[in-house]
């Protein structure tokens, strides 16, 4: 069973983190998202274990399913599998994250309403619709409270999605330390792809060719009304501040 799980967040940079980590010889990870603790729980632990790659002594088994972070039942379920599971959450500016989330949906369903109209319950009063998942996910402090009922804060590592782009080796250093791994992944593993606007691997796991994340990553965001962006910034600010306090980390989103 996995000793470490990337539990969130959607559109935060979880795929990049996992791909980067897989370069490490002591990390073995499931390719696809198992969604065990949110959608497939009734299939049982034996089913889940079958999905895991075979590992040797000293290797770490991992999986990532970003929707765990916002799933009410997930913390208790993971804790009942193993109280010692290490958890990793990749977070990014909740406003950018919401726009990225919307962009992804838009690419699949071009006829959805505008970002602006989905953001507000009532545009005139400026009341924000917190039931819309794109907005809901970014209220990190609220979701984290649920996890802290089952796991000590020291067992959860918070990775900055922004720093994963600007300084991938630095963030990967923190992740390797947290997982108790030798710091094997360093800046010599990365190059910056100017077209995509983010770092790529010089050599991916099991290949000698450079590897960038697929076409679905780094999509161009639609232009969003600046007033709406500002409203969202104001809305998230108190939650962000609380999140900084809870994690002891200032992510610099304001």
Host domain of residue 9? 4-94+133-216
On whether 219 is known to bind a ligand per the annotation, the reply is yes
Number of domains in the chain: 1
| Alpha carbon distance 169, 251 (integer Å) | 17
123 part of a folded domain = no
| Alpha carbon distance 50, 211 (integer Å) | 28
212 part of a folded domain = yes
Length of the chain in residues, anyone?
254
The angle at the Cα of 166, spanning 182 to 254, to the nearest 5 degrees, equals: 120
**Marked catalytic residue, from 11, 108, 109, 242:** 11
Give helix 226-247 / helix 94-108 axis angle, nearest 10°. 120
On whether 100 is known to bind a ligand per the annotation, the reply is yes
Output DSSP code: residue 109: -
Structure tokens at 225: 């009304």
Identify the CATH number of the domain in which residue 187 sits.
Answer: 3.40.50.300
Which pLDDT score, from 0 to 100, does residue 219 have?
A: 82
116 part of a folded domain = no
Q: Is 242 assigned a catalytic role?
A: no
- Each residue's pLDDT, cut to its tens digit, for the chain (254 residues) gives 999 999 999 999 999 999 999 999 999 999 899 999 999 999 999 999 999 999 999 999 999 999 999 999 999 999 999 999 999 999 999 999 999 999 999 999 999 999 999 999 988 888 999 999 999 999 999 999 999 999 999 999 999 999 999 999 999 999 999 999 999 999 999 999 888 888 999 877 777 788 888 777 778 899 999 999 999 999 999 999 999 999 999 999 98
Which pLDDT score, from 0 to 100, does residue 206 have?
A: 73
On whether 220 is known to bind a ligand per the annotation, the reply is yes
| Alpha carbon distance 72, 166 (integer Å) | 32
pTM recorded for the entire structure:
0.95
On whether 218 is known to bind a ligand per the annotation, the reply is yes
């Amino acid at each position: 069973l996995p000793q470490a799980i990337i539990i969130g967040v959607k559109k935060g940079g979880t795929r990049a983190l996992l791909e980067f980590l897989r370069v490490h010889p002591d990390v073995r990870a499931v390719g696809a998202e198992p969604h065990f603790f949110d959608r497939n729980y009734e299939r049982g632990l034996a089913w889940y274990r079958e999905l895991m790659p075979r590992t040797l002594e000293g290797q770490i088994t991992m999986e990532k399913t970003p929707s765990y972070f916002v799933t009410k039942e997930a913390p208790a379920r993971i804790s009942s599998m193993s109280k010692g599971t290490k958890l990793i959450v990749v977070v990014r500016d909740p406003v950018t994250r919401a726009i990225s989330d919307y962009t992804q949906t838009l690419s699949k369903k071009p006829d959805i309403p505008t970002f602006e109209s989905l953001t507000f319950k009532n545009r005139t009063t400026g009341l924000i619709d917190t039931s819309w998942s794109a907005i809901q996910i970014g209220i990190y402090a609220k979701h984290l409270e649920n996890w802290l009922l089952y796991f000590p804060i020291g067992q959860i590592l918070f990775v900055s999605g922004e720093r994963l782009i600007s300084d991938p080796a630095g963030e990967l250093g923190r992740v390797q330390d947290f997982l108790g791994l030798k710091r094997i992944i360093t800046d010599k593993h990365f190059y910056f792809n100017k077209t995509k606007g983010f770092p790529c691997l010089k050599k991916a796991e099991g290949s000698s060719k450079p590897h960038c994340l697929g076409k679905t990553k780094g999509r161009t965001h639609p232009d969003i009304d600046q007033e709406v962006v500002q409203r969202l910034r104001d809305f998230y600010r108190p939650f962000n501040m609380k999140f900084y306090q809870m994690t002891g980390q200032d992510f610099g989103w304001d």
